[in-house]
Chain A
């Protein structure tokens, strides 16, 4: 029952000690009570003894009185009377004592009896004594000897005996009672003591058992303290170690004695110190249930993560802490966090791949609906993803493909992987071929499938199939073409031996096929072409195709034919496929062309030196003609007639005209030969500069209207030559005008600028426009307008060279407009 009621040890011990206390208390009470009883019994016995003695004394005194009366009676000696009176007196005092002591229930009767009997006796004796003095005193003796007197004494004695007996009984009774009490005390004292001792012992045993248990527990604790792999320590209120277990040394490398009295903060990682202090403060304030982590420095200098469980005694200020080395856990945690991050990243990547994939990715439920689709679906089929998910996927499948698609779905449901192709209806009503790779996880009822749009491949495949069929069908045709081709066709092996030849060989070279198959191709090659042919062969054997390689093959009759070759190698077969066409005719033509070209180049060279010598030599005589004419005019001044002077002037003018002709011709030929040096030219400034170079008679009244002009890309030297010609023409052909207007404008087209130089001069007949730009072509007689007839030809050539052109519009008398175009930069 005690086991059932779990009382604390304190209560149990208290219970037993209380029990012992109560026992002693009861025992004490009982002993005091017994003692009291004993005391009263004793007084009772004392009284009884007194009574018994009094009774005996009373009898004794009465007997003394009787004896003294008798003595007196017999002797008559009065001495006896004295004794008698003393005895009576004693008897009465004793009787009073007895009366006092012997009262009580039942006893009073005896006292009344004895009192009255004693009085009768005493009166009887007094009578006898008185009678002694009378004569006849002998009679008294008789009376004394009488029965009644005798009886009286006898009765007194009886009553006294009876009283004595009563008193004795009483004494015995009280003695018994005292004995009983003594006995009782004797019995309960040891028993009570024994019980009390027992209870105290029980209490002690309990305490002892507890003490042993405590000691054991303490030993166990100590063992645990020493053996614990966790770090255990006690820290005082100053934060110094008071106790530390050996785990500290094991974990951090500090021997315990090094730690004691040392502030723990010294070992804490600098980053954790502040928090550790806060936590420690909280704990000292009585906060519990803390699980706190920080880093402690090991003796070696690195750090371990510790997880602390700490409590503190608020009164003593001692902190009790257990720390677990969670460095590995922490590292694992970090690893786990990293892993987690990686997982998240890879999840994100997967998601990204899912949404970016060009393949159509899908998750399909066993209910036949799409559950998740990536954007590639929208792109490939044109539906929104919602549209695709709103219907069972089979509704999109081409009717002809439904059967094997369903079979595939069944396989997937059974956990098999599936690779199929089927057609899906796209939003635009056309079917797309999809190539599926799918796997399922039957436990979760999902199918993971990727689909690739292979429509193009499929179409190509179909095409290829068709092509293949066609190829097979046309093999015969090819054979026929091979047989009929006018071109030479050959298949040779790597050694250069013919393997297959078409009949064109026989026709062109005159050998029979059999003859050809027995030799190598090189045997037929012209000696001058052997080297280049071998080289070409090498190129082909390396895997490069050759096209338009040419060499000469000897015919049966000994002449040579030029052949142009196309050849390719099929490595797997080790064969070279070649066709050759007979280019003998074109080869001859080519030869003619080359000759012509060479001749042309020669004449070009001649032309160059011609123009060079014209430049140098043709002008010198003109200079001399002019020079000496002038000299003559000067020397013969006054000696020659006016007419002779005019003639001299004409000689000079003719020579000057010829010089101009030569210059223009040289310009013209140079335009054709030179390369242009293109630069960006601002036409506004350019026109003005060219205009300033013109020699214009001061009498002329010319209004120049030059609109805003663009920038062009041109050779400044030649452009200035051309524009100079155009402007000087405009000035020249307006020389008969009173008022001259020359306009320069420009129109921008998509790819070119079209410039226009327009005058209000004499103009020309537009039917001769074609002749305008030819060399030495003039539309006006030179007496009207002087000129060499080369200017416009030069201009035309300049613009041509710039990728532009020149044309003109005019009517006689209405001025002329010259247009030229220049490509945009």
Chain B
């Protein structure tokens, strides 16, 4: 079912989230989006814990992950995903303001699928979100399903 193809956006910044969702809405992708506000929520969502314990459905087809997050930062979330059976194959895209080499290196070392710097210029930002959404939600074939 189409509704099962979910995108998880992990973003603490309301403004960025709004702009992101605006863009996805424009391309009819917003209905498939779930949002986590920090690293902890993101992991809860994935592992169906606490407020997400009732969530049904499979793993998201892609996670758009910010790095600077409250509680648990994006890189730590990524590390946990990559070290957990049943989750390690979920495509993860880091979507962040930082162009710091340190972050880039660590992201790729941990096995991120793509690293996208949020452009300041709005149109570019919108283009980036649009391409990511279309690519990961429509074009890309997700990894074979695993028992969670």
Contacts and interface: CB of A to CB of B under 8 A. Distances in A.
Interface of A: 612, 615-617, 619-620, 622-624, 626-631, 652, 655-656, 659, 663, 666, 670, 674
A327 B103 CA distance: 93
Contact of B125 (A612, A623, A655, A674): A623
B96 A623 contact: no
A263 B101 CA distance: 102
A674 B100 CA distance: 11
A637 to B, nearest CB: 15
Given A630-B123, A656-B120, A659-B120, A624 B100 contact: no
Contact of B67 (A616, A624, A626, A655): A616
Contacts of B67: 616
A683 to B, nearest CB: 24
Most buried by B among A624, A652, A659, A670: A624
Contacts of A630: 122-123
Interface in B6-30: 13, 15-16, 19, 22
Interface size of B as a range: 20 to 34
B68 interface: yes
Contacts of A670: 101
Contacts of A623: 15-16, 19, 97, 118-120, 122, 125
Contact of B68 (A616, A629, A663): A616
29 contacts: A612-B100, A615-B100, A616-B67, A616-B68, A616-B96, A616-B97, A616-B98, A619-B97, A620-B13, A620-B16, A623-B15, A623-B97, A623-B118, A623-B119, A623-B120, A623-B122, A623-B125, A624-B15, A624-B16, A626-B122, A627-B19, A627-B122, A627-B125, A628-B19, A629-B122, A630-B122, A631-B19, A631-B22, A659-B120
Interface in B79-132: 96-102, 118-123, 125
A620 B15 contact: yes
Contacts of A624: 15-16, 19
B19 A674 contact: no
Contacts of B122: 623, 626-627, 629-630, 652
Nearest to A631: B22
Contacts of B100: 612, 615
A626 B120 contact: yes
Contacts of A619: 97, 118, 120
Contacts of A655: 120
B74 to A, nearest CB: 11
A666 B99 CA distance: 9
Most buried by A among B97, B120, B121: B120
A760 B120 CA distance: 33
A674 B101 CA distance: 10
Given A617-B97, A631-B22, A666-B99, A622 B15 contact: no
A381 to B, nearest CB: 71
A615 B97 CA distance: 7
A663 B121 CA distance: 13
A824 to B, nearest CB: 28
Contacts of B68: 616-617
A626 B121 contact: yes
Contacts of B120: 619, 622-623, 626, 655-656, 659
A666 B97 CA distance: 13
Nearest to A618: B97
A720 B81 CA distance: 36
B62 to A, nearest CB: 21
Contacts of B123: 630
Given A617-B68, A631-B22, A659-B120, A612 B15 contact: no
A24 B120 CA distance: 171
Given A623-B120, A674-B101, 4 more contacts: A616-B67, A617-B68, A619-B120, A656-B120
Nearest to B119: A623
Contacts of B118: 619-620, 623
A628 B16 CA distance: 10
Contacts of B125: 623, 627
A668 B97 CA distance: 18
Most buried by A among B13, B97, B102: B97
A628 B15 contact: yes
B99 A615 contact: yes
B106 to A, nearest CB: 13
Nearest to A674: B101
A329 B72 CA distance: 103
Given A624-B19, A631-B22, A612 B98 contact: yes
Ranked 8 nearest A-B pairs via Cβ: A659-B120, A624-B15, A627-B19, A630-B122, A627-B122, A626-B122, A619-B97, A615-B98
Nearest to B123: A630
A631 B19 CA distance: 9
B26 to A, nearest CB: 10
A616 B69 CA distance: 11
A670 B99 CA distance: 11
A670 B22 CA distance: 34
Most buried by A among B22, B98, B119: B98
Contact of B15 (A616, A627, A629, A674): A627
Contacts of B101: 670, 674
A615 B101 CA distance: 11
Nearest to A620: B97
Contacts of B19: 623-624, 627-628, 631
A663 B120 CA distance: 10
Contacts of B22: 631
A609 to B, nearest CB: 11
Nearest to A624: B15
Contacts of B13: 620
Contacts of A631: 19, 22
Most buried by A among B15, B118, B122, B125: B122
A560 to B, nearest CB: 46
A604 to B, nearest CB: 15
A652 to B, nearest CB: 8
A656 B96 CA distance: 17
A27 B122 CA distance: 178
Contacts of B98: 612, 615-616
Contacts of B96: 616
B100 to A, nearest CB: 5
Contacts of A666: 99
A627 B15 CA distance: 9
A281 B101 CA distance: 103
A624 B102 CA distance: 25
Contacts of B119: 623
Most buried by B among A627, A652, A666: A627
A530 B19 CA distance: 69
A694 to B, nearest CB: 17
B97 A656 contact: no
A278 to B, nearest CB: 92
A620 B68 CA distance: 11
Nearest to B16: A620
Most buried by A among B16, B99, B102: B99
Nearest to B96: A616
A619 B117 CA distance: 11
Nearest to A717: B101
A624 B118 CA distance: 11
A817 B70 CA distance: 50
Nearest to A663: B99
A656 B99 contact: no
B102 to A, nearest CB: 8
B2 to A, nearest CB: 28
A659 B122 CA distance: 12
A597 to B, nearest CB: 24
A628 B122 CA distance: 9
A656 B122 CA distance: 10
Contacts of A615: 97-100
Contacts of A617: 68, 97
Nearest to A621: B15
A674 B102 CA distance: 11
B18 to A, nearest CB: 8
